Amino acid sequence: MRLNPRFTDKFIRGALLFQALFTVSILVFIVFIVFIKGAANITPQFIFSYPEDMGRHGGIFPAILGTVFLAVLSIALATPLGVGTAIYLTEYTKESTLTRIIRFGVESLAGIPSIIYGLFGFIFFVIKLKLGWSLLSGTLTIMIMVLPTIIRTAEEAIKAVPRNLRIVSFSLGATKWETVTKVVLPSAAPGILTGIMLSVGRAVSETAAVIFTMGSSLRLPTSLLDSGRTMAVHFYILAREGISLEKAYATALVLVVSILLINIAAYYTMNKMIGRYS
């Protein structure tokens, strides 16, 4: 007995809708749970004071700053490299074996899992370069990690800039570099910023690569060679060792909210870009 196709149609539509809603509800559940269980502990004290008794009491200030330092520094290093690569690939060369090799390199970097970055960062920065478990080791490792994302988004953004703009700029007598910096980059800026913010999100939530390069010291890192924690690392340790479930949820909440804010900012700038060209 064949089912009425119209009926299957409606049924499938319902089933697919259910799947979509189920997926979204997982997200809602996660945010909800973290919020419910963590909100009670979010006090100004929590944000601004230091952890005591291995994190059982006190706040997570060093972890917050550790996260900020790591994210800002690694992005600051990765952005010039990434945008430079993107500029080179789009403005200065045509598609050739060379560009294909470079793109292959970028894609490969993008596919490497974070534990391998952790392994590499550990053996190279921490041990061989004798930087030890430090902010510097962590920064350099995360910098390499986010590089592909920045390159990809920067390339997309730069490619999206209409050719006319460049032609007009040249016809007015500008050099290539002047065109790039004064015409192309400003137009591509929102897209590039989106890539930067996505990378920040990645740096903030990364754990495996950070724990083996930056370490897990509870102190606030005051120099590049000091070890420290990021919020993700702190949360991981709190949760696994059962040190304090409440503090763990609270840390998770701060983490999730930060990522939420970063995503919102990324979307805002991306929409600015789309608005410009639609």
Partner 1 sequence: MANRFFSREHLIKCLLVVAAFSSLLFLFIIFAFILGEGLPLFYKVGVIKIILGFTWAPTKGFFGIFPMIVSSYMVTLGALIFGAPLALGCATYLSEYASRRMKLFLKPALELLAGIPSVVYGFLGVVYIVPLIREYLGGPGFSILATSAVLGIMILPTIISISFDSLMSVPPTYREASIAMGATKWQTICNVVLPAARSGILASFILGMGRAVGETMAVIMVAGNALRIPMSLLDPLRTLTSNIALELAYAAGDHRSALFSTGVVLLIIIMILNFVANFWVKRKVTG
Partner 2 sequence: MRSNLATPIALLLFIALICWGTFDLRKSGAGRKDTVTLAGSTSVMPFSEKLAEYFMLSHPRLSVEVQGGGSSAGIQATINRTVDIGMSSRNLKDDEKVHKQILICYDGISIIVHPSNPVRDISLDQIQKVYSGRIRNWRELGWIDRNIDAVSREEGSGTRGAFEELVMGKAFIDDGIMVQDSNGSVKEVVATDPYAIGYISLGIVDQKVKALTIDGVIPSVRNIIQQKYGMVRPFLYLTATEPAGAVKVFIDFVLSRDGQNILRKEGLVPIRG
Task: CB nearer to partner 1: give 134 or 205.
Answer: 205
Say whether residue 45 binds partner 1 (CB under 8 A).
Answer: no
Say whether residue 105 binds partner 1 (CB under 8 A).
Answer: yes
Task: CB nearer to partner 1: give 44 or 278.
Answer: 278
d(CA 63, CA 37) in angstroms, rounded, equals 20
CB 247 within 8 A of CB 41: yes
Task: CB nearer to partner 2: give 141 or 216.
Answer: 216
CA atoms within 13 A on the CB side of 27: 8
Task: CB nearer to partner 1: give 1 or 3.
Answer: 3
Q: What is the DSSP string of 50-63?
A: -EEGGGTEE--HHH
**Residue appearing with tokens 């040249």:** 170
12 binds, among partner 2, partner 1, none (CB under 5 to 8 A by kind): partner 1
From 144, 188, 196, 218, residue interacting with partner 1 (rule: CB under 8 A) = 144
Q: Which residues of this chain interact with partner 2, rule CB under 8 A?
A: 52-54, 69, 72-73, 75-76, 79, 130, 132-133, 181-182, 185-190, 192-193, 196, 215-219, 222-227, 240-243
Say whether residue 17 binds partner 1 (CB under 8 A).
Answer: yes
Say whether residue 20 binds partner 1 (CB under 8 A).
Answer: yes
d(CA 263, CA 201) in angstroms, rounded, equals 8
Say whether residue 56 binds partner 1 (CB under 8 A).
Answer: no
Residues 6+ apart with CB under 8 A from 172: none
- Residue 18 CB, shortest distance to partner 2, in Å, is 32
Residues 6+ apart with CB under 8 A from 37: 245, 246, 249
**Residue appearing with tokens 């045509």:** 94
